[in-house]
Amino acid sequence: MADKEIKLSAAQEKIVEALNKLSALELSQIVKHLETEWGVSAAAPAAVAVASAPAGETAPVEDAKSEFTIKLTEAGVQKVAVIKAVKEITGLGLGESKAIVDGVPSIVKEKATKEEAETAKKLLEEAGATVELA
């Protein structure tokens, strides 16, 4: 793929500047919203090649999991920070986020992409929580 510079209008430049200020999680949420709103996918089509294993051997199984469940197993000592992280990840209100943290073990989010799950896990662990991805 050639590195060609794409000319943007002033309005498009402002959008790019605004997007540059967002976190990865916020950008991911915008992408998901646009995919739903416009009925498109931002994912590049993936070509899957399956190699057959020689007789008597088994082919290695690749981890092709595309959806993850983010499970909060322990809130830790910084409960307020964890509540804020849950609120940011889910988009829920403060009360609902607190209920998730108070109800550990609890599901923070289901059907998250790998990127969303890893970003959420990092955010929750930085807040002091213990998290499992399933």
* pLDDT tens-digit readout, 101-129: 888 888 888 888 888 889 999 999 998 99
* pLDDT tens-digit readout, 70-107: 999 998 888 899 999 989 988 888 888 888 888 888 88
What gap in Å lies between CA 41 and CA 50, rounded to an integer? Answer: 24
* pLDDT tens-digit readout, 13-34: 888 888 888 777 777 778 777 7
Q: Dump the DSSP string for 59-105.
A: PPPP-----EEEEEEE--S-HHHHHHHHHHHH---HHHHHHHHHT-S
